[in-house]
Amino acid sequence: MSIADAQDILAARDGDVVALQRVLSDSRQNLRRYAEYHCVVNDAEDALQESLLQASRHIGSLRAVEAFASWMFRIVKRECNRLKRGLRTLSGDVITDDILPPVQFEPVEIGMDVACALSSLPSHYRQIILLRDLQGMTIQEIADQLGVTREATKSRLHRARALAREYLLD
């Protein structure tokens, strides 16, 4: 990716419609080839169009410009799998694991589990998870607020997530 591409992606993420059109137009050919490889032949263009539409709606949520290409390819792959599931459902074929949708938990159940996991953590671990994952603060902002080094912040966040993960797996 060249510098101009990164600048266009940043501008598109910040709401520049012209930059968004340029980014999606520049990506179209590679995404089309990817869709042709992963989709049923007749679905490639539909998957591409739907993917470009989804990307235009959600580009504001893209965190890292460097992740743009893999983010786009993932959207295309997911759309191809969605179309394959629909085709197999109509034809009565077995839907294999490679195109099954991700498992979705009931929001109430997972919310309660996460709330219990967070309440089980010591306060300094709970605080760092809430600052990072709920408020979206950067590592440096958290370190400044807590008065600790970046390394200590990263270590504490890693340990907090590990403890929460351990609780949720039990």
For the stretch 109-153, pLDDT in tens is 677 888 888 889 999 999 999 888 877 888 999 999 999 999 999
- Range with lowest mean pLDDT among 20-29, 76-85, 140-149: 76-85
- Write down the pTM of the prediction: 0.52
**Which domains are present in the chain?**
3-99 (1.10.1740.10), 107-169 (1.10.10.10)
The secondary structure of residue 133, as a DSSP letter, is I
> Higher pLDDT residue, 14 or 42?
14
* Res 88: pLDDT: 61
pLDDT at 63 over 50: yes
Mean pLDDT over 57-70 rounds to 88
Burial class (CB in 10 A: 0-12, 13-18, 19+), 139: middle
Summary mean pLDDT of the chain: 84
Distance CA 56, CA 59 (A): 6
Dihedral of CA 20/31/67/163: which sign? positive
56 half-sphere exposure, CB direction, 13 A CA radius: 18
> Higher pLDDT residue, 151 or 97?
151
Q: How far apart are the first and last CA of the chain?
A: 43
pLDDT confidence of 96, banded at 50, 70, 90? low
